[in-house]
A and B are shown apart, each in its own frame.
Chain A
Amino acid sequence: MIVEGRVVKLGDKIDTDVIIPAKHLKYTNPEYLAQHVFEPIDPEFHKKAKGAVIVAGKVFGMGSSREQAAIAIKAAGIKAVVAESFARIFYRNAINNGLPVVVCPGISGEVGEGDLLRINIETGETVINDTKKIMCKPITGMALEILKAGGLLEYLKKLKNS
């Protein structure tokens, strides 16, 4: 599975209240949530999100269990989130909703805003601007199976039918 896109950079400890504030949690509609993604730091964020890859620092997605954080990022058209590390609940929510999340220690120092990233999520091989190769951590095991099925719901349906 290969994903690619232009880099949008964010910092360390990006929390779920910043990704999608609690006032939007009474709905799960992806189109609605996409309009409000990262609203507290940039109300116009959704306009630059389509086709982008987010590159962030430590414990991306820390905070609440709100699954809307992963849904909003995916629905805004973000192809993947690559971070130094992820908060546990967000990581699972992303996989469960078919949003690739790649652990990549050192990535913040390797790429700049607007760089082109191409990531093979099963091997971890990542190419920056078609020239420089770096290794991120591959997605493996249960997480890969769920992601490949298209999310937890599809994975459960597949299990039921097999």
Chain B
Amino acid sequence: MGKSLTEKILERASSKAVSPGDVIEIGVDIVAFHDLTGYHVIEVLEKASGSNIKIHNIDSLVVAFDHLVPPPDVRSAEIQHDIRLFAKRHSLKNFHDVGYGILHQVLLERYVLPGQVVMAADSHTTTSGALGAFAQGLGASDIAAIVLTGRTWVTVPQPFKIRLAGTLRRWVTGKEVALEVLRVFKADYFNGMAIEVFVEDPGAFPMDFRATVANMGIEMNADVLMFVPDAETIGYVKSERGFEPKVTTPDSDARYVDEYTVELDKVELLVSAPHSVDNVKSVREVWGTEVDYVFIGSCTNGRVSDFEIAAKIMKGKKVKTRCIAIPASWSVFRKCMKLGYIQTLVEAGCVVTYSTCGPCIGGHFGIAAPGETIVSTSNRNFIGRMGSPQAKIYLAGPATAAIAAVTGKIVEPGDLV
């Protein structure tokens, strides 16, 4: 019997044969944290080791500030200041201060390779599964233990196969594919499973879309969501980092607990209506809902293709809602400037700023008032997530968000562009 991608990666990482359900110890290739979890990781490190903290492998540790960027208050500034001192004291090589990018985007662009084990103190670490890495979030204590030992334990998840067949309709992206999976399976189905995604035509589902789907893997409660590496994966690493990566792929006779095919040409423009990510409706079902505030960005949808779609829709128009747009990294920001997308959004009346998680976590830089309706390209619409518990959040892809900004309503862009 052949092996799934999950089994292949975990066998390499544990140096023994594994089966779903086994509790195993594994070596971790990349460990990471950001500002809002990082200070907590450092607190645990200090409690465990006092002033004599010995980092297991400096090369494998990645830190990027994103949640408290720019610091909205003294405590946030203090948190970042303390982590900066830690980075200096331990001569961290992979430390990225304010403005460089959201951790998950930075990991994709610069660090993660197919087949690696990636553990970071943030739930959206599943994003790195876009490259075919076994990537998952952990709490601060677990991450601190990995910083000290290079190892952790996992329960081997049941692999589940999702096949993406055909080609997407106009304006439909990776976000709608993730919402379609949530519509069909609901948010608890994949608990304890590893979703392995096979793309039938690699070119039809680019890396940006893969990153969005993998990011939303945690909203499906999957242990990991990995795209099986293919020509698109190799092409992405080559263009971002200048070399062709080795890839690990599952055996053709690998065993999966079950499988499901998404027919891409049947996926519509979708939203998650308040207050649950699996409360999925088609845009037609919520047509005309009035919108106060649009957020385009986050580790889910802050990439070049998202800004490309938003710019196409907003070109020559003015926003009717507040619109805040945030590229997921400095690299994305510069690419979007070169392509003219940032200029288009600014002309339309959006506030565009450098990478921060602020609005998505209801932290700062765009908090929602009681009674307001938001269309957000981020990943969670839990009660109170973006500010007031009385605000209503609709999660959407970039096209639905952009058309909402220029019309003030949830509609399809089709006949307006």
Binding site for B on A (CB under 8 A): 12-13, 15, 17-18, 21-23, 25-28, 40-41, 58-59, 62-68, 70, 85, 87-89, 92-93, 96-97, 141-142, 151-153, 156-157
Contact indicator B362/A13 (Cβ below 8 Å):
no
Contact indicator A41/B383 (Cβ below 8 Å):
yes
How far, in whole Å, are A64 and B265 apart by their CA atoms in the complex? 32
Which of B23, B40, B362 has a CB less than 8 Å from the CB of A142? B23
Contact indicator B40/A67 (Cβ below 8 Å):
yes
Which residues of B are found within 8 Å of A65, using beta-carbon distances? Answer: 37, 121-123, 125, 137-140
> Known: A92-B138, A96-B139. Contact between A66 and B382, CB under 8 A?
no
Contact indicator A22/B221 (Cβ below 8 Å):
no
How far, in whole Å, are A5 and B200 apart by their CA atoms in the complex? 53
Q: Does B44 sit at the interface, judged by CB under 8 A?
A: yes
How far, in whole Å, are A125 and B300 apart by their CA atoms in the complex? 42
> Known: A40-B384, A59-B221, A89-B137. Contact between A96 and B142, CB under 8 A?
yes
Which residues of B are found within 8 Å of A58, using beta-carbon distances? Answer: 188, 191
Looking at the assembled complex, report how far the CB atom of A24 sits from the nearest CB atom of chain B, in whole angstroms: 11
Contact indicator B191/A59 (Cβ below 8 Å):
yes
Some 16 contacts from A to B, beta carbons below 8 A apart, are A17-B380, A28-B40, A28-B43, A64-B122, A64-B137, A67-B141, A68-B40, A70-B139, A88-B191, A89-B123, A89-B139, A142-B153, A151-B141, A153-B141, A156-B148, A157-B48
Binding site for A on B (CB under 8 A): 23, 36-37, 40, 43-44, 47-48, 68, 75-76, 79, 121-123, 125, 136-142, 145, 148, 153, 187-188, 191-192, 218, 221, 223, 276, 361-363, 380, 382-385, 389
Which residues of A are found within 8 Å of B139, using beta-carbon distances? Answer: 65-67, 70, 89, 92-93, 96
Other A-B contacts than A26-B68, A67-B139, A89-B138, 5 sampled, CB-CB below 8 A, are: A22-B361, A22-B362, A67-B140, A87-B221, A89-B123
Which residues of A are found within 8 Å of B75, using beta-carbon distances? Answer: 26-27
Looking at the assembled complex, report how far the CB atom of B205 sits from the nearest CB atom of chain A, in whole angstroms: 26
Contact indicator A88/B223 (Cβ below 8 Å):
yes
Give the nearest-CB partner of A68 in chain B: B40
Top 9 nearest A-B pairs by Cβ distance? A67-B139, A93-B139, A40-B384, A17-B382, A65-B137, A22-B361, A96-B141, A58-B188, A65-B123
Looking at the assembled complex, report how far the CB atom of B150 sits from the nearest CB atom of chain A, in whole angstroms: 14
Contact indicator A63/B48 (Cβ below 8 Å):
no
> Known: A87-B191, A142-B23. Contact between A152 and B142, CB under 8 A?
yes
Contact indicator A40/B40 (Cβ below 8 Å):
no
How far, in whole Å, are A92 and B37 apart by their CA atoms in the complex? 16
How far, in whole Å, are A58 and B186 apart by their CA atoms in the complex? 11
Looking at the assembled complex, report how far the CB atom of A120 sits from the nearest CB atom of chain B, in whole angstroms: 21
Which residues of A are found within 8 Å of B122, using beta-carbon distances? Answer: 64-65
How far, in whole Å, are A87 and B382 apart by their CA atoms in the complex? 15
Looking at the assembled complex, report how far the CB atom of B254 sits from the nearest CB atom of chain A, in whole angstroms: 22
Contact indicator B141/A25 (Cβ below 8 Å):
no
Give the nearest-CB partner of A84 in chain B: B188
How far, in whole Å, are A93 and B40 apart by their CA atoms in the complex? 13
> Known: A15-B382, A152-B141. Contact between A62 and B40, CB under 8 A?
no
